[in-house]
Amino acid sequence: MSRTARLPRRVLFPAALVFAAACLTLSGCAAGKISQTADQVAAIDGANGSIGDITVLNARLAPTEGQGFDQGANGRLLLWVSNGGLSADKLSQVSTPAAASVRIVGDASIPGQYLSDMSSLTGTRVVVTNFTQDIPYGQSIPVTFSFANAGTLNLDIPIELPSERETDRPTVVIQPPHPTPLWEEAPGGEAAGATAESSPKESSPVTTATTTTNG
> So where are the chain's domains?
15-157
Model pLDDT, residue 30 = 39
Q: Would you say 26 and 84 are in contact if contact means Cβ atoms under 8 Å apart?
A: no
pLDDT band at 92 (very low <50, low <70, confident <90, very high): very high
Q: What is the CA angle 114-147-133, rounded to 5?
A: 115
Higher-confidence position of 30 and 127: 127
What's the one-letter identity of residue 202?
Answer: E
Model pLDDT, residue 72 = 97
Q: What is the DSSP letter of 20?
A: H
Q: Comparing 6-20, 74-88, 164-178, which segment has the lowest mean pLDDT? A: 6-20
Model pLDDT, residue 62 = 96
**Residue-by-residue DSSP string for 166-202:** ---PPP--SS---PPPTTSBPTTSSBHHHHHHHSPPP
The third-level CATH classification (topology) of the domain covering 15-157 is Immunoglobulin-like (2.60.40)
Cα–Cα dist 111/86, whole Å: 8
pLDDT tens-digit map of 1-19: 444 444 444 444 455 554 5
Cα–Cα dist 55/42, whole Å: 13
With b for 16 or more beta-carbon neighbours within 10 A and e for fewer, the 171-188 pattern comes to eeeeeeeeeeeeeeeeee
**Confidence check: pLDDT of 101 > 90:** yes
